[in-house]
């Protein structure tokens, strides 16, 4: 039994109202026998929540993700809130954290009310200002989604619901100054920049590792400038960098040096180890009939520590990067963020020392 645990729930499998050009989950769904497991039933949701909470002593975090998880509808999330209330009544000291990662395209006031009632943290996928966001995040008809996404995000902020921005970076929108200005001007203080992921089995990068490193080093300078003005902006990779350098816990699993089972629960209740591996060969069990044992051969094979490439062994960034996520490794077996971390640690030494001294 874990002290705290985590489950990533896919309420509508890979179904989505948008057709973002780089969607990694759509790519996964076409690489398995059943591409869509439909919509999760209330009974399966109950089993998923009870299975997860039943395996933790102090608390569970539930993240709803898709496709577009809000397609599951209001009654699905009302039911989830009721399940959380039932657990709270039985286990008053047990903490449940609820998060949803959404395009916000379909968000309406009544859904916002339900998310508020459930104390949700909402991650909104937003790739910057309209002309950059709309390059990749399009509707099924190829139209831009920005206007609707942005105004719906305001519905969340009007209710003081915490909003984190997830910005996928490709060579199209890797304009650090423009993105940063947009997010700062609009008061977004919780940001995550992730490198667009090439489809399974393809080496066609959406942005090269060098280009992403150039982009992120500029972001770092912009972040540092805010920091010196006393304004702390949370940028996930920068938070993780300082967490690693100061010996605190790192939130991202890709910087732990070893995969762990993340309990991804598909709409039919089947369980997989990680969002990047919701593929037939990695199915671990099901919340409906055969829950996971971490000692199963598939789980053991997934969490097995992989040996490091030679280049990592005498690398200045090893303590932070640890060769990154296995899904983000290139043909040289190095992390796609290799150059980002190496260059941050070699060329931003002064700023890093300053931050470590003044704040952490």
- Cβ-based nearer residue to ligand SF4, 118 or 285: 285
CA 80 to chain centre: 21
The phi, psi pair for 36, rounded to 5°, reads -125, 130
Distance of CA 207 to the CA centre of its chain: 19
The residue from 179, 338, 344, 355 that contacts ligand SF4 (CB under 6 A) is: 338
Site string for ligand SF4, 256-295 (x = CB under 6 A): ---xx-x-----------x-x-------------------
Binding of ligand SF4 at residue 326 (CB under 6 A)?
A: yes
- CA gap 261, 10 in Å, rounded: 16
* 275 carries an active-site annotation: yes
DSSP 183-196: HHHTT--EEEEEEP
Owner of token pair 């996964």:
28
Q: What is the rounded distance in angstroms from the CA atom of residue 196 to the CA atom of residue 16?
A: 18
Chain position carrying tokens 């699993």: 253
Q: Cβ of residue 289: shortest distance to ligand SF4, in angstroms?
A: 24
Stretch that binds ligand SF4, among 15-23, 222-230, 286-294, 333-341 (CB under 6 A): 333-341
Selected range binding ligand SF4 among 144-152, 237-245, 253-261, 283-291, rule: CB under 6 A: 253-261
Minimal distance, residue 42 CB to ligand SF4, in Å: 28
Contact 188, 147 (CB under 8 A): no
- Kindly tell me which residue out of 327, 330, 348, 351 binds ligand SF4, with binding defined by CB under 6 A: 327
Burial 111-129 (b: 16+ CB within 10 A, else e): bbebbeebebbbbbbbbbb
Task: Tell me the closest approach of the beta carbon of residue 258 to ligand SF4, in angstroms.
Answer: 8
Q: Is 343 in the site for ligand SF4 (CB under 6 A)?
A: no
Q: Note whether 250 binds ligand SF4 by CB under 6 A.
A: no
204-212, 229-237, 286-294, 330-338 -> range binding ligand SF4 (CB under 6 A):
330-338
Find, among 318, 179, 320, the residue nearest to 246 by Cα.
320
Looking at the Cβ atoms of 251 and 353, the one nearer to ligand SF4 is 251
How many residues contact ligand SF4, by CB under 6 A? 23
**Residues whose CB falls within 8 Å of the CB of residue 196, separated by 6 or more in sequence, listed in order:** 22, 136, 168, 169, 170, 206, 207
Gap between the Cα atoms of 137 and 81, Å rounded? 30
- Verify binding: residue 213, ligand SF4, rule CB under 6 A: no
Instruction: Select which of 239, 268, 275, 314 is catalytic.
Output: 275
Q: Cα–Cα distances in Å, from 354 out to 102, 121, 348, 349, 357?
A: 36, 31, 10, 9, 5
Report if residue 148 touches ligand SF4, rule: CB under 6 A: no
**Which residues are tagged catalytic?**
275
Residues lying near ligand SF4 in the complex (CB under 6 A) are found at 253-254, 259-260, 262, 274, 276, 311-312, 315, 317-318, 321, 323-327, 334-335, 338, 341-342
């Amino acid at each position: 039994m874990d002290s705290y645990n985590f489950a990533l729930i896919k309420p509508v499998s890979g179904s989505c109202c948008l057709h973002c050009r780089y969607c990694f989950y759509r790519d996964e769904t076409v690489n398995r026998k059943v591409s869509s497991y439909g919509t999760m039933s209330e009974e399966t949701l109950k089993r998923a929540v009870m299975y997860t909470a039943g395996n933790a002593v102090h608390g569970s975090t539930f993240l709803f993700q898709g496709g577009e998880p809000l397609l599951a509808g209001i009654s699905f999330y009302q039911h989830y809130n009721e399940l959380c209330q039932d657990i709270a009544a039985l286990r008053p000291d047990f903490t449940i954290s609820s998060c949803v990662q959404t395009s916000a395209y379909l968000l309406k006031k009544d859904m916002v009310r339900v998310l508020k009632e459930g104390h949700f943290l909402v991650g909104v996928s937003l790739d910057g200002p309209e002309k950059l966001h709309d390059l990749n995040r399009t509707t099924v008809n190829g139209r831009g989604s920005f206007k609707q996404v942005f105004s719906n995000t305001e519905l969340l902020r009007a209710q003081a619901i915490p909003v984190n921005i997830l910005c996928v970076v490709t060579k199209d929108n890797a304009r650090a100054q423009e993105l940063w200005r947009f997010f700062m001007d609009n008061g977004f203080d919780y940001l995550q920049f992730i490198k667009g992921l090439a489809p399974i089995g393809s080496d066609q990068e959406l942005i090269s590792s060098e280009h992403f490193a150039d982009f992120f080093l500029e972001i770092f300078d912009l972040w540092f400038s805010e920091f010196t003005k006393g304004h702390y902006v949370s940028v996930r990779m920068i938070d993780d960098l300082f967490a690693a350098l100061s010996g605190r816990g790192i939130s991202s699993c890709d910087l732990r040096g070893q995969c762990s089972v993340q309990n991804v629960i598909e709409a039919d209740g089947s369980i997989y180890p990680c969002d990047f591996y919701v593929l037939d060969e990695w199915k671990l069990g099901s919340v409906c009939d055969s829950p996971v044992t971490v000692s199963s051969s598939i789980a053991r094979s997934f969490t097995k520590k992989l040996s490091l490439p030679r280049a990592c062994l005498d690398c200045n960034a090893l303590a932070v990067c640890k060769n990154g996520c296995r899904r983000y490794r290139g043909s040289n077996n190095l992390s796609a963020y290799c150059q980002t971390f190496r260059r941050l640690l070699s060329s931003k030494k002064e700023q890093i020392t300053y931050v470590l001294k003044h704040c952490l």
